[in-house]
Amino acid sequence: MAIWELDGAEIAAQIAQGAISAREVAEATLARMDSVNPVINAVVARDDAAALAAADAVDAARASGAALGPMAGVPVTIKENVDQAGFATTNGLRIQRDLIAEQDNPVVTNLRRAGAVIVGRTNTPAFSLRWFTRNSLHGHTRNPHNAAITPGGSSGGAASATAAGIGAIGHGTDIGGSIRYPAYACGLQGIRPTLGRVAAWNGSAPDRHIGAQLMAVSGPHARSVRDVRMALDVMSQPDLRDPWHTPAPLIGAEYPRRAALCVAPEGLQTHPLVEAALRDAASRLIDAGWRVDEVDSPPFRAPARCQAQLWLAEMARGAQAAFAQEDDLDANHVLAEMHKLTPVPDLNEVLDAMQSRLGFLREWQSFLAKHPVLICPISAEPPFPDLLDLQDFPRVMEAQLTQVGLPLMGLPGMSVFTGFEQSEAGRVPLGAQLIAGRYREDILLDAAEAIEARGPAIQVVTP
């Protein structure tokens, strides 16, 4: 295998053993980027000299006998909506092309501290608003498996890069599916952690309003579950700059190997290919010794409405002027469509949404105490034709019910790859979403490893 085909755990092990050097890994990754990135436009900013210097520091530490971090020499990418010192935190916006970060976001700090080598920054739609990745600043990111389908969004650049071998792990963020959906669309493993699990903060901008504080998280994309586990451990280290951070253990109490399967939550019109992927995931868990019960899920629709209300309240209060100034046609269209489906709430509606959140979380926690994992769709459809939201936004929004509904409760969710199938758009990746209780990412990872072990391994794709 080429170096850029190895997963992060294997790279870290080979560097620690002296089988390869961190510089060799960095050089191979940068060369891979040179080869494939012009086709997919996933990485939109890079500093090769800094990446090679970070790799040399890892090699020097090993040569001196110093202890190496758990991700020493592992190449990673960072999404352009979080601060990385010396780079613009553009969030896909022309109006932020000169917003240069003076310090790293805590998630970047933790990756560096673990020895990871940052090889580039990845594209996101304007305002990180869509499940598609195109903006007026950096242009259009493509899915390396199939250019006819979306790479997902808003972490579409992260997933596209990781799938194509530009780094072993891609950092993403998720407020409405932006880690889980790109992982699905690009055939990866991706986890949305519990609120507070991963410390994050952008010093380049004011603190966000309460909706985003309650729902937005950072997490990893990777080509193996063990890499997701490794990256989550690293990203989860404490940082006082994020008051929401909770130093909960990554391994929880013993739990029964019992899962729930819900193919069509609250009447969702689940595509037959998606249903087959869900049942495949469930059968793999049964083969691994789990019990799987087909049941109705706790609510998604009412939480999704509250999520949209809190999101729109934040945009109406703080982002309208920015939308007008940026004047990105895609973002303007999507925001207008969101307003059609969910009008901007008044103060009482925001307060009602906040009050309702507690009851929804109570109901979900009770359900997950009986069934520690819920298997449900990531999306009701196979990965969308690219830019479908500009043609039929209501269809897209309905299919993404489980993406939007989950973040209100701050619960963790994971997108698990199951394989490829032929759809109307050609050959597409498919997968299942796993949901667990707060701070029980370990259960998601255990279940995902069982599913992964009984299916096709994820291979790097050349677009």
Q: Read out DSSP for 51-80?
A: HHHHHHHHHHHHHHTPPPPTTTT-EEEEET
pLDDT at 319: 87
Q: What is the CATH number of the domain that holds 179?
A: 3.90.1300.10
Give the pLDDT confidence score for residue 317 in this predicted structure.
84
The three-state secondary structure class of 356 is helix
User: Tokens in use for 15?
Assistant: 């560097």
Task: Say whether pLDDT at 314 is over 90.
Answer: no
Q: Is residue 463 part of a domain?
A: no
Of residues 157, 166, 174, the one with CA closest to residue 79: 157
What is the rounded average pLDDT for all residues in the chain? 97
The verdict on residue 27 lying in a domain is yes
Is 315 a residue whose pLDDT tops 90? no
Distance between CA atoms of 192 and 402, rounded to whole angstroms?
Answer: 13
Identify whether 439 is part of a domain. Answer: yes
CA-wise closest residue to 152 among 391, 342, 389: 389
Q: Is the pLDDT of residue 214 over 90?
A: yes
Which burial class, exposed, middle or buried, applies to 398 when counting CB atoms under 10 A from its CB (0-12, 13-18, 19+)?
middle
What is the average per-residue pLDDT within 362-384?
A: 98
pLDDT bucket at 318, cuts 50 / 70 / 90: confident
| DSSP category for residue 385 | B
- What number of other Cβ atoms are within 10 A of residue 339's Cβ? 14
Task: Give tens-digit pLDDT for 103-162.
Answer: 999 999 999 999 999 999 999 999 999 999 999 999 999 999 999 999 999 999 999 999
Domain count, the chain: 1
Query: Tens digits of per-residue pLDDT, 14-45?
Result: 999 999 999 999 999 999 999 999 999 999 99
Dump pLDDT digits (tens) for 81-118: 999 999 999 999 999 999 999 999 999 999 999 999 99
pLDDT digits (tens, 9 = 90+) for 242-275: 999 999 999 999 999 999 999 999 999 999 999 9
Whether the per-residue pLDDT at 235 is higher than 90: the answer is: yes
Local confidence band at 316 (pLDDT 50, 70, 90 cut-offs): confident
Q: Work out the average pLDDT over 279-287.
A: 98
Using one digit for the tens of pLDDT, what is the confidence trace for 432-449? 999 999 999 999 999 999
Note whether residue 460 is domain-resident. Answer: no
| Beta carbons within 8 Å of 87's beta carbon, 6+ residues apart | 45, 47, 80, 100, 101, 121
Which pLDDT score, from 0 to 100, does residue 367 have? 98
Which among 176, 251, 174, 186 is positioned nearest to 220, based on CA atoms?
A: 174
pLDDT value of residue 168: 98
String of b and e for 278-287 (b: at least 16 CB within 10 Å)?
bbbbbebbee
Residue that has been written with the tokens 């105490």 in this structure: 369
| Residue 311 near residue 130 (C-beta atoms within 8 A) | no
Confirm whether 132 is domain-assigned: yes
Helices (H), 114-264: 156-163, 180-185, 210-215, 225-235
Range of the domain at 61: 3-453
pLDDT of residue 421: 97
- Would you name the residues annotated as active-site residues? 79, 154, 178
Instruction: Report the distance separating Cα 245 and Cα 195, nearest Å.
Output: 8
Residue 320 has pLDDT above 90, yes or no: no
The average pLDDT across 390-407 equals: 98
